[in-house]
Amino acid sequence: MPAVLEELQSIESRRRKLVGRIVFGLMVLLSALIGALGGLLLIYSTDLPQVEHLENYRPISTTELYDVHGHTIGTFALQRRVVASYQDFPKVLRDALISTEDKSFYRHWGINVWRIIGAAYRDVESGERAQGASTLTMQLARNLFLSPDRSYHRKIQEALLAIQIERRFTKEQIFMLYANQIYLGHGVYGFEAASEYYFSKPAKQLTLDEAALIAGLPKSPVYYSPINHPDRALHRRNLVINSMLEDGKITALQATDARNQPMRLNLAHDPNSLAPYFVEEVRRYLENKYGTDEVHSGALRVYTTLDMDLQSVANQAVLDGLAAYERRHGWQGHLDNVLLEGQKLAGYRHPDWDEPPAAGSYVHALVTAVSPGMARLKIGNDIAVLSQVDVAWTKRQPTKLLTPGDVIYVNVLSRASDNQMRVSLEQDSGSQAALLAIDNATGEVRAMVGGRNFNVSKFNRATQALRQVGSSFKPYVYTAAIDQGARPDDVILDAPVTFQSSSGAYSPHNFDEKYEGIITLRRALAQSRNIPALKLADRTGIRVVEDYARKFGISSPLPPYLPVALGAAEVTLMEQTSAYSVFPDDGVRLVPRLIAKVTDYDGRTLEEDYPEVKDVISSRTARLMTSMLLGVVQHGTAVAATKLKLPLAGKTGTTNDFTDAWFVGFSPSLTAGVWIGYDEKKTLGPKETGARAALPVWMQFMSAALAGKDPGQFQLPPDLPPQNTAQTVDTSDLAPAGDESH
């Protein structure tokens, strides 16, 4: 018995020693593991960014431009983003995102351990690192601080950062940061910007199916793009809806109804497309003053002088005027053909197709098929058919005009909901036009059209093109004469004359090669007679005339030669239009401006622009000249404008060989100028005067711009009899108006 007891004691002693050794070994192993883990954490945490910087985090945001009514007219951005608060994201969107990306978001402390273990097991089983297992917080950490490479090193850093973020910020703050930062395709960052881009409305107004669609994009914005891959996007949307149903966020009835909804995108129009030349002018100014980085990522708020309503009218007037000009000169052909250039019809896209064309717009179209009596066209994702009626002005059959692969120019007459369009054939021979409108009271530019198509040519013909102004220069001559004592009813001899100069004899002529004899200055200007203008300039002194033009704001070079009096000088439309505003402004010039105010990300005012006023001429001279320019409209070269029955004044201008056509004019409240021509020195064609080519564009614009508004009345000198500026004039007994070149 004692022997058995001793044996048992011996066994117990050995067991205790073994257990002690095992425990000691485990402790050593655990210490080693803790040490190794601590070392790894030390290594991986080295150089980690400080998450407390998020308290002052300011994402790269869009600079926005506003018109005078507060409407967005343009944006500058490296990343298209609209920063929103947590409350701006509706519950349906939050539920959709959390059900899809991170079901335990409101419960975990930055990482989901079980999800990581499951993902790691699947990674080992598949032999790939395909399972991310990232929580929203980890995704936020990666997007803000880390590279997108898929490695265990980055994953550990991601987890460490996520834990730090969770310790310092609330779940609402984390969700807001994530929802503003995440990339959602097509240059869009954040769910507010995505909602505005894909559905043209704020996130607060998203329906269940719409919220599910954009909540499915973070997984792969390119692969699930609803624009490029609608079938994949639809499938992904329905998976999100199913996840919401499984989590009890929605009812079965709501899920079924949402899954049955078609995918209805309403892509936002590019605001820059309404006034691209104006927006480009603003961009150049801002970048020169604040720098490119600040303009494209600093979330500036730029309050411009543009009026979207007037800009839309200006765009239409210019395009309609060019279309009318093109039709007057018949079909010329010379079409580009993509098939002859080695391209395929299916793969062709024109820059015009970046935005869905609206009714009234002019765009390029691709001819896909031609048959007797009709041609089939492609315009982006839309289709159209040209019938014989739509090409009647060419006096040809479609089969004689077009072949498959031709790129043609059309006017969109109407657009149905089934992507069907009704169009008419137009022509783009290269003719160009520009229009500029300035508010007389402030000098603010209300509308600017710099050419036919910004996508084709970025050159701004309203501010950059130096063109001869023809007879629209004559008001400076008459202003100088009036200031030196002449009166509108003084007479002058309109007869052949020869001027002697250092370069020899100069014998000018009138546009119509006729002479009227003794006429008043008022009639000489109204009928745009050349000889009286030259005599006045010679008598006053051409350098004096040029000094007056400088005071009016003409800064372009003016050669000191007598023919300058007839417009043999090149100026910009901006200069000429701004100069004419001196007349209705009682002799003062308000320097034209495009920006009223600029604020930074925090709302602080960076600049505020006020009108810069310069005295040019006396109010009496300005009023006398206004009365004379009224005569141009009432019974002169611009008599067609009397049908508007509005107080209007202005001057036509035409250059030699009809290369440039001008009309610059004003009402008591608005001054506008129009130029039409080719970029190269090329004739517009016989009889394409300022009255014929430019005046109709000006009239269309002014008619719409002043519609429904009190036009006001011009202030005339007290020593002149009052005139009914809206009276319709019977011109049947007048000689044909001359609109001469120099």
Tell me: pLDDT of 659 over 90. Answer: yes
Is 334-428 assigned to CATH 3.40.50.2000?
no
Neighbours of 400 (CB within 10 A): 11
Tell me: pLDDT of 121 over 60. Answer: no
Burial of 219 (0-12, 13-18, 19+ CB in 10 A): middle
Distance CA(288)–CA(55), nearest Å, equals 31
Q: Pick the catalytic residue: 471, 472, 578, 667?
A: 471
By the 8 A CB rule, do 147 and 49 touch? Answer: no
pLDDT, average across residues 445-452: 97
Q: Which of 47-61, 384-398, 637-651 has the lowest mean pLDDT?
A: 47-61
Question: What tokens were used for 50?
Answer: 């400080």
Q: How confident is the model at residue 161 (pLDDT cuts 50, 70, 90)?
A: confident
pLDDT, average across residues 255-276: 88
Q: What percent of the chain has pLDDT over 70?
A: 85
Is 101 among the catalytic positions? yes
Q: How confident is the model at residue 129 (pLDDT cuts 50, 70, 90)?
A: very low
326 three-state secondary structure = helix
Tell me: pLDDT of 187 over 70. Answer: yes
Q: What is the pLDDT of residue 25?
A: 65
Tell me: pLDDT of 12 over 70. Answer: no
Q: What is the pLDDT of residue 337?
A: 94
Distance CA(131)–CA(165), nearest Å, equals 23
Residue with tokens 């699930």: 224
Whether this model's pTM surpasses 0.85: no
Q: What is the pLDDT of residue 6?
A: 65
The CATH label, of 1.10.3810.10, 3.50.30.40, 3.40.930.10, 3.30.70.980, for the domain at 79-271 is 1.10.3810.10
Is 627 among the catalytic positions? no
Q: Pick the catalytic residue: 61, 64, 99, 101?
A: 101
Angle, alpha carbons 627-632-636 (nearest 5°): 140
Domain boundaries, the chain: 8-46, 79-271, 334-428, 432-705
pLDDT, average across residues 335-355: 88
432-705 maps to which CATH number? 3.40.710.10
Q: What is the pLDDT of residue 713?
A: 93
Q: What is the pLDDT of residue 9?
A: 66
Q: Is the dihedral of CA 29, 34, 35, 41 positive or negative?
A: positive
pLDDT, average across residues 266-295: 90
Tell me: pLDDT of 509 over 80. Answer: yes
Q: How confident is the model at residue 636 (pLDDT cuts 50, 70, 90)?
A: very high
Residues 477-505 pLDDT 10s: 999 999 999 999 999 999 999 998 777 89
Tell me: pLDDT of 34 over 60. Answer: no
Q: How confident is the model at residue 369 (pLDDT cuts 50, 70, 90)?
A: very high
Q: What is the pLDDT of residue 113?
A: 64
Tell me: pLDDT of 39 over 50. Answer: no
Distance CA(209)–CA(291), nearest Å, equals 42
Q: What is the pLDDT of residue 420?
A: 78
Q: Which of 27-36, 354-363, 490-499 has the lowest mean pLDDT?
A: 27-36
Tell me: pLDDT of 122 over 90. Answer: no
By the 8 A CB rule, do 92 and 208 touch? Answer: yes
Residues in the chain: 742
CA-based nearest residue to 376, from 399, 348, 347, 350: 399
